[in-house]
Structure 1
Amino acid sequence: MTSSNGLVCFTNCLLPQEDGSLIEKDLWIDDRRGVVLDSQRTFFLRKERPARVIDLGGNIVSPGLMDIQINGAYGFDFSVYDGDEEAYRQGLKTVAEKIVETGVTSLVPTIITQQQSLYPTILNLLRPLSGPNSANLLGWHAEGPFIQLAKRGAHLPEFLLPAPEGFQSFEKVYGTENLAVTEDWLMANDGDSDTVGVRIITAAPEVEGVRVAVKEAVKRGIVISIGHSICSTDIAAAAVVNGARLITHLFNAMPQLHHRDPSIIGLLGASPHLASNLSPKSPASPTSASFTIPRTPSSNALANRIKGALGEGPKATSEAFDELTTPPQTPVLAGVDSDLQLKKGEKAEMPFERPFYELIVDGIHSHPNSVRLAYSAFPEGCILITDAMKILDPHLRDGIHEWRDGKRFVKEGDKLYLEGTDTLAGSVVTLDKCVRNFSRFTGCSLGEAIKCATLNPARCLGIENKKGTLRPGADADLVVLDRKGYVQSTWVKAMSNMRMDSSTTCNICMYVLFCDYGVQGRMH
């Protein structure tokens, strides 16, 4: 898209605010620099009005959606590398170009647990990348291999690892150069100091060495996410105190809520004073990558389920409903002697910050009521993700599809299973659909749902001044939604990937993506 003076104005539109509201207001962008502008400041400094004005017919202009956990799409699996770097880069390019049809303008490619020798190469290939008419690849998300066997989901057990040397074990697996401090890592990419670089590691805090590694990883600018874990509330809280700031796909691949030990899920309701004083040394908590069958009246049933999960008995059940948990554990409190609040509304000191948490809102991985409970407990921490697999494609039909290592997927609508089991294997839901589902499931406004796929993930990653927002100076990554949340057009740094809509008027030449998803053309 071009404008004679570089100024473009979207008018007759609704803009999402950072409090989740929607207000009727014009939006100015600079299509030469690809940034959002402060309209008043720009007008008074430049004494110019936008040369192009686009009437959006009352639709919503939102920051582009951000997906921070996605395993692949459009036939490409981020975890599969056969030694051909050019083919891998082409796969990344294909995903980035096509996914804009779902309103996604930024994503964090995610690789699941795999052969240790492949990590350094793949993570190096997943450095930040952007191109014309395509979404931004922000960096990488390594889900594993430092995760719990009992909650491995679709991860291969032979590749799971402990971290006996703490952060040094992380370096040996992921590659020292991929775990350099943030500034070095970004400058090594292309020398562009404005490059947004993201690295996320999902790990289980109870696995040997992981808790020791968390502090150093955080110093390197890495987001540590708690997931695929059976850790107790005590251990989960200790990980957050050490710097972990995210929970991987809440409810899935973790113990379910128990009133005596709510485990990882309990972090959403953590008291700022109690949680910060929880001892990380609960004697009943697992401390290594191994686990034992709980000695409870139902231990035989649990033993059978564990054997099933390991391929030694009945077929594995979905990780979403897996009950391979440690027995209820009473939290061990230490040093809780702070003053209590006496006046209503008086703010207490907040030594403990609850982590952000991801939700796959396809109606399958988590029941709508569970989604609403989580959001009610901690709305500011909610992040919508797809956890999508390589067969994510709005045009793909149901049926059996190839995956990797001889395994195949079974797709039934938004359901995705490993063939021969009822184990959920990621999803095929698109992020724009997650936004619509979330508004229906929770009863929140569309603006509040949009926030969970834009501002909240950006805040979690510490990039909210560049992505996920309409703040002046932010990247002009935008998605136009109708009032029911359906994507009408997508703009990456003011370049348009547009779906035709009768209410959208623009007489300039632009790249077009028509309403039926996938028919490309030019519009003048």
Structure 2
Amino acid sequence: MTSPNGLICFTNCLLPLEDGSLVERDLWIDERRGIILDSQRTFFLRKERPDRIIDLGGNILSPGLIDIQINGAYGFDFSVYEGDDEAYKEGMKTVALKIVETGVTSLVPTLITQEKSLYPKLLHLLRPFSVPNSANLLGWHAEGPFIQMAKRGAHAPPFIIPAPERLKSFEDVYGAENLVHAEDWMMEDGETDRVGVRIITAAPEIDGVMDTVPELIKRGVVYSIGHSIAKTDTATLAVIQGARLITHLFNAMPLLHHRDPSIIGLLGASPHLSSAFTPLATPVTTRTPGSPVHPVSRGGTLRLHHGGKATSEAFDEHETPPQTPVDRRELAISSETIAQRLSQKGGRPELHLDKGETADMAFERPFYEMIVDGIHSHPNSVRLAYGAYPDGCILITDAMKILDPHLKDGVHEWRDGKRFVKEGDKLYLEGTDTLAGSVVTLDKCVRNFSRFTGCSLGEAIKCATYNPAKCLGIENRKGTLRPGADADLVVLDRKGHVVCTWVKGKEVWTRSGSQVVA
């Protein structure tokens, strides 16, 4: 059903605002242009009212959910390429068409560490993509290969490398054409899209990475700290250099320690960092030797072997092999040097007498991802992080190809002749107690997050809509209900369950038996 004049009004609904509040207000969209409208301006300019009015019965009308880290879904793995471009595109299409049932209208496909020659091909295939009635694939997230061996999770050790030639090392791996300064992304329908997203997760302590970060930022890449053993000073310097994100907080990084909070400590960064006070010294750790584990790659398909065990991509290995070469200049960076660099950016670091006001900081804390399935991070940890820095929280699934809300519990085929056991949101390799990855959907993460932290549903929605969009710099188009933004919407009931999903002004999925009055 379409509106004769293209105008649709959603009424009797709650709209989540960018501050996390929920307000009772109508929303107008133009289904022909696929955008959200300023209702008053539209009425006075066009002298028209919407011909179609949709009563949402008091439900929540939210921006569509955005998943910026997802490894696959519905049987397709973004990291597996078997030499057939069309088959790969069909897999992308399958994910884009089906995932809307979970309220996701935009996602960033994620590649784990690959054999070097595969990156240029895969990253080219993962340019922004959509077909009618599907979610938007916004670009790509390359998680590796410039990561720390000791925190590799399920990444293949032989493919993990340093970047001794700085930017050239990155271009040699990802392909220089995939790291150009500005790109016009061609969509499946032939239109050009300038919302192409590129995220790179790398460990800042790895040789060559730190020096490369500023140039990556200039080229529009979102640099994320992850799979790293970075100490506090190194992690802080990475943020000064331009790091904007932390990959799956708590997982594949050092534990929080009160003397050196490392990467996790960035959430509570102190104004002291930019002060003229006497700097605190942070010790530098040395390498810890261990035993390597060898995967096998066959026919262009990445196949990971871990001594008979499969691990979640975000979890640490039990064995620690020799670590990736570390750039000693960066590890030796002093707190004093960091303070000097931050002081050049201004702020109010001095002691002051204003009760209830925090001194201004030149240091901007990064966004951070969390997998809120109740497995990867304890609810207490989730609440602790959110309490420290609510505006930086981004919910992700980090889901594997077996993400499918219709998949029944039981034993299922996996790969290399192995099978996994699904028990709710838990996945185990058959015959072991080893986690095999995430299968949680993003809408469930939203519900879990509200329960774990005690925040409102509106505040939880913000962490899966506005926050990821702002991190990626696309908040004028996605993750918001601003006039002019894409009409990517999800209707949620008051318990956070998806009722229906809209992409660019068109209804693309409706829950069976739902009652939406048009």
Pairwise TM-score range, normalised by the shorter structure? 0.7 to 0.9
Equivalent residues of 1:261, 1:330 under 8 A apart: no
Checking the alignment, whether the CA contact within 8 Å between 1:307 and 1:313 is kept in structure 2 is no
Q: Distance in 2 between matches of 1:207 and 1:406?
A: 35
The match for 1:140 is 140
Q: Which residue does the alignment assign to 2:175?
A: 175
Is 1:334 paired with 2:336? yes
- The residue aligned with 2:476 is 465
Which residue is 1:260 aligned to?
259
Q: Is the 8 A contact 2:156 2:294 kept in 1?
A: no
TM-score norm. by structure 2 comes to: 0.87
1:45–1:500 distance in 2 versus 1, CA, 3 Å? farther
**Residue identity matched to 2:250:** F
| Paired AA for residue 234 in structure 2 | I
Q: Does the 8 A contact of 1:7 with 1:52 survive in 2?
A: yes
Counterpart of 2:354? Answer: 343
Counterpart of 1:432? 443
Residue 519 of structure 1 aligns with which residue?
none
Instruction: State how 1:290-369 maps to structure 2 within 5 Å.
Output: 291-293=287-289, 320=315, 332-334=334-336, 336=339, 338-346=349-357, 348-369=359-380
Give the structure 1 partner of residue 327 of structure 2. none
Cα offset, 1:401, TM superposition: 3.7
Are 2:395 and 1:384 aligned?
A: yes
Partner of 2:328: none
Partner of 1:46: 46
Matched, 1:226 2:222: no
Question: 1: distance between equivalents of 2:275 and 2:438?
Answer: 35
The sequence identity of aligned pairs, in percent, is 73
CA change 1:140–1:343 in 2 (3 A) is: same
Confirm or deny that 1:28 pairs with 2:28: yes
Structure 1 residue 212: Cα displacement: 1.3
Partners of 1:3 and 1:13 in 2: CA distance: 20
1:410–1:276: structure 2 CA closer, same or farther, 3 Å change rule? farther
Alignment partner, residue 511 of structure 2: 499
Deviates further, 190-199 or 241-250:
190-199
Which piece of structure 1 moves more, 169-178 or 494-503?
494-503
In structure 1, C-alpha distance between the alignment counterparts of 2:188 and 2:57, rounded to whole Å: 41
Once the two structures are superposed, what CA deviation does each residue of 1:281-327 show, in whole Å capped at 9, x if it has no partner?
A: 966146xxxx325xxxxxxxxx6xx779999999688764778899x
How far apart, CA to CA, are the structure 2 residues paired with 1:422 and 1:60?
39
Separation of aligned partners in 2, 1:217 and 1:189: 27
CA distance in 1, matches of 2:103, 2:238: 34
Partner of 1:202: 201
Matched, 1:115 2:127: no
1:418–1:425 Cα contact (<8 Å) kept: yes
Query: Are the aligned partners of 1:235 and 1:281 in contact in 2 as well (CA < 8 Å)?
Result: no
The Cα shift of 1:62 comes to 0.2
RMSD: 2.9
The answer to whether the 8 A contact 2:310-2:429 is kept is no
In 1, Cα distance between equivalents of 2:413 and 2:308: 23
CA contact (8 A) 1:260 1:330 kept: no
Task: Assess if the C-alpha contact under 8 Å between 1:154 and 1:423 holds in 2.
Answer: no
Question: What is the CA–CA distance in structure 2 between the aligned matches of 1:399 and 1:177, rounded to whole Å?
Answer: 44
Alpha-carbon separation, structure 2, partners of 1:395 and 1:188: 29
| Cα pair 1:134 1:492 within 8 Å, conserved | yes
Shift of residue 472 of structure 1? Answer: 0.3
Partner of 2:183: 184
C-alpha separation between the residues in 1 aligned to 2:97 and 2:361? Answer: 43
Structure 1 match to 2:299: none
User: Match for residue 234 of structure 2?
Assistant: 235
Which residue of the partner structure matches residue 3 of structure 2? 3
Per the alignment, residue 250 of structure 1 pairs with 249
Between 159-168 and 376-385, the greater mean CA deviation after superposition: 159-168
Aligned to 1:300: none
Query: CA separation in 1, counterparts of 2:279 and 2:306?
Result: 36
Looking at structure 2, the residues matched to 280 and 418 of structure 1 have their Cα atoms a distance apart, in angstroms, of: 45
Aligned to 2:454: 443
Per-residue Cα deviation, 1:174-209 (whole angstroms, up to 9, x for no partner): 00001111x235379998554311000111111111
Q: In structure 2, do the counterparts of structure 1 residues 407 and 226 end up closer, same or farther at CA, with 3 Å as the change threshold?
A: farther
Report the CA distance between 1:493 and its aligned residue. Answer: 0.4
- One-letter amino acid matched to 1:82: E
Tell me if structure 1 keeps the 8 A contact 2:184–2:192: no
Aligned-partner Cα distance in 1 for 2:294–2:232: 24
Deviations 1:332-367 (A, max 9, x none): 521658422222245633211000000000000000
Identify unmatched segments of 5+ residues in structure 1.
Answer: 294-302, 507-524
1:405/1:157 CA distance change after superposition, 3 Å: farther
Aligned pair count reads 488
Matched residue type, 1:135: A
Task: Give distance in 2, aligned partners of 1:107 and 1:279.
Answer: 41
Identify the match of residue 374 of structure 1 among 380, 385, 392. 385
Question: Deviation at 1:490?
Answer: 0.1
Taking the aligned partners of 1:439 and 1:255, their CA distance within structure 2 comes to: 26
Match of 1:413 in 2: 424
Question: What is the distance in 2 between the residues matched to 1:212 and 1:315?
Answer: 36
- Tell me the CA shift for residue 104 of structure 1: 0.3
Q: Which amino acid aligns with 1:490?
A: T
Partner of 1:18: 18
Q: Give the equivalent residue in structure 2 for 1:76.
A: 76
Question: Kindly tell me: are residues 121 and 140 of structure 1, through their superposed partners in 2, closer, same or farther at Cα, counting changes over 3 Å?
Answer: same
Q: What SS does the corresponding residue of 1:263 show, helix, strand or coil?
A: coil
CA gap 1:384/1:95 in 2 versus in 1, 3 angstroms: same
Per the TM alignment, residue 271 of structure 1 is displaced from its structure 2 partner at its CA by 1.4
Stretch deviating more after TM superposition (201-210 or 334-343): 334-343
**1:122 is paired with a residue of what secondary structure?**
helix
Unpaired runs of at least 5, structure 2: 296-304, 324-330, 344-348
